[in-house]
Amino acid sequence: MIKTSILDAGKLQEFTKERKLQPFRVKQIYQEVFKNQNINFADMTTLSKDLREDLDKEFSVVTLEVDKILEDESTTKIWFQTHDGFMIEAVIIYHRQDEKYNKNDEKKLNRITLCISSQVGCPMGCLFCVTGKLGFKRNLTRDEMISQIFYANKYIKDKFGKQDDGTLFGVRNVVFMGMGEPLLNYENVKKAIEIMLRQEAGFSLSKRHVTISTAGIIPGIRQLIKDEIPVKLAISLHAPNQALRDKLMPIAKAYPLEALERVLSDYVKASDNRIFYEYIMIKNMTDKPELARELVTMLRRKLAHVNLIPYNNNPAISLTESDAKDIQIFKKILEEGGLTVTVRDSMGRQMKWACGQLWYEKLTKEEE
């Protein structure tokens, strides 16, 4: 039996009215879920035992089943199964800083990012992405996206407990950079973001801590402008000219680079937000110095930051990561051209759960 999501406010109100519960009980339930990071009703000890049992019969907090969890020092990869048998993935990323006064020279946990999926599979078919090779199955619902955060927060609480200030460790940043193209699932993504930012019955995340990563779906970006969605925007650019972008990303033919630049200019004017441009470093393809100079010409005097992403080598795709020295040369050209640049540390890459690698295990099994 598929239970009702606890996020269904109408059903929850009906539930409380039928049992003649006080209105504050709804607030109490959501406090357990969002603040106390409990996903099992049995653990919600501020509620009576009878209420917990009744809730458990009709509702669920996480609408996904956990299939397996893989972990290294910097990341945790969670495989979820949907009610209709599909697999999706989310990745928790742990950011640590050196603790200056720690005599053991340990790194202190600074913040936690959750990379969530917005679709089952991906329709983009980008040359460098394993996930895209599996094609598109369906959109995820609002509740399925939020469930990834619910579960991650419970997992983080169990792993780390409380911070120095007494609050629980939990997800601080959410990025739509997992499986799928979020702007092709616009309405569900919008509804999920509303819950992420909401103070009451929400995660109370800062708008600066939610990022949508898109391959450049122009109608979706226009809708972001119209709806005044206040989160950050990351563009999977990967090429400074149309010919190379066509080769890397089939969507570039539908939404040409010139048109994408125009809508991004409109977005910056409307939001005053800096745009993050993702640029993949593939040996002898995207890492040439002349391409760096083209990128400078394209982005100079724009509200932009460039993230250089070393390609994550993968046996399923015959591409190679750029040499470290070539990445540094590329970076230097961008900086000398006046751009701000970061070479991204692709956490989880050795375990095949970094950018572009999701569903690696499934794909390699199908090709055996």
- 115, 122, 355, 361: which one is catalytic? 355
Strands 75-81, 87-98: pairing kind: antiparallel
Find the catalytic residue in 32, 89, 181, 361. 89
Q: State how far the alpha carbon of 140 is from the alpha carbons of 110, 154, 269, 324, in Å.
A: 30, 21, 31, 37
304, two tokens: 């932009």
Instruction: Mention every residue, 6+ apart, whose C-beta is less than 8 A from residue 238.
Output: 126, 128, 245, 248, 249, 278, 279, 280, 286
89 is catalytic: yes
Token readout for 291 is 């391409």
Return the ∠ at Cα 77 (arms to 74 and 81), rounded to 5°: 170
Task: Give catalytic status of residue 71 as yes or no.
Answer: no
Q: Which helix (H) or strand (E) holds 233?
A: strand 232-236
Specify whether the backbone of 206 is left (phi greater than 0), alpha (psi in -120 to 50) or beta. Answer: beta
DSSP readout, 58-79? HEES--SEEEEEEE-SSEEEEE
d(C-alpha 205, C-alpha 207), whole Å:
6
Kindly report the CA angle at 154 between 13 and 36, in degrees rounded to 5? 55
Classify each residue of 49-86 as buried b or exposed e, where b means 16 or more C-beta atoms within 10 Å of its C-beta.
eebbebbeeebbbbbbeeeeebbeeebbbbbbebeeeb
Q: Are 287 and 281 in contact (CB under 8 A)?
A: yes
Distance CA(263)–CA(241), nearest Å, equals 16
| Cβ atoms < 10 Å from Cβ of 142 | 20
Q: 97 CB contacts (<8 Å, ≥6 apart)?
A: 107, 108, 110
CA 289 – CA 4 distance, rounded (Å) = 55
Distance, in Å, from the CA atom of 43 to the CA atom of 241, rounded to the nearest integer, reads 54
Which residues belong to the active site? 89, 355
